[in-house]
Amino acid sequence: MSKKLAAEFFGTFWLVFGGCGAAVLAAGFPQLGIGFAGVALAFGLTVVTMAYAVGGISGGHFNPAISFGLAVAGRFSWVELIPYWIAQVAGGIAAAAVLYLIATGKPGFVVGGFASNGYGDLSPGHYGLPACLICEITLTAGFLIVILGATAKSAPAGFGPLAIGLALTLIHLISIPVTNTSVNPARSTAVALFAQTDALGQLWLFWVAPLVGGALGALIWKYLLEPHPAEGLEAEGY
């Protein structure tokens, strides 16, 4: 179990450091940085690389909503859920702390939102609460369906991480203007702790919506899409 938790810690660390780091350090630098598309790709690449690196140890969740959805789908043990959540959130916070130390080493750096998520005034496009709630639920549900399908026994072997990373890239391309993209409570919690906005006050949405979406995606897969008899992989890896 300790190796699984370590894998989830480092995997989530890499996701937050790579994805949020791209947003904080490179999105608008110098004047023509990598932009939204580059940040979206960065998040996808973090999942692909770490899923191949440690997915065989822990299943490569790196996200409390994914662990929850896999448990709902019967692909993951409920007993391990809380320890996974703790490891994921801890890994995310550690990454945000390292990113903060790097970012604040630049003279004149303004912490601001620090790649945090939000609705209303904290939404990049100023989308309201209902729109952000629907967006996060829908995209997390879709993410779970991709994960469950890409890691099923009937799926081509070895390509799961690629499909999942591309799905996360697509999710960011859609929703960065809406919520700055969460679909991951650990990622949202980590950077909200360092943001100089009301990101912590809005954090509840970025736990509730991904967890609801994860459960919804799991139920859609389990009762409408899963091949019969069930052929999915357990959470031991891709």
110 belongs to a structural domain: yes
pLDDT at residue 190, as a whole number: 98
The region of weakest confidence among 32-41, 70-79, 143-152 is 32-41
pLDDT digits (tens, 9 = 90+) for 80-109: 999 999 999 999 999 999 999 999 999 989
238 belongs to a structural domain: no
232 belongs to a structural domain: no
Peptide linkage before 227 cis (omega within 30 of 0): no
81 belongs to a structural domain: yes
206 belongs to a structural domain: yes
- C-alpha span between 78 and 48 (Å, rounded): 25
pLDDT at residue 236, as a whole number: 42
Beta bridge partners of residue 142, listed in sequence order? none
Looking at per-residue pLDDT, the higher value among 223 and 32 belongs to 223
Q: How many C-beta neighbours within 10 Å does residue 38 have?
A: 13
236 belongs to a structural domain: no
Domain count, the chain: 1
Domain of 79, in residue numbers = 2-225
Written as one letter, the residue type at 192 is A
3-class secondary structure, 152: strand
- C-alpha span between 28 and 25 (Å, rounded): 8
Written as one letter, the residue type at 206 is F
Report the CATH number that the domain containing residue 135 is assigned in CATH. Answer: 1.20.1080.10
pLDDT at residue 232, as a whole number: 42
What pTM value is reported for the model?
0.92
Instruction: Work out the pLDDT band at 227, boundaries 50, 70, 90.
Output: confident
**Half-sphere exposure for 64 (CA within 13 Å, toward CB):** 25
230 belongs to a structural domain: no
177 belongs to a structural domain: yes
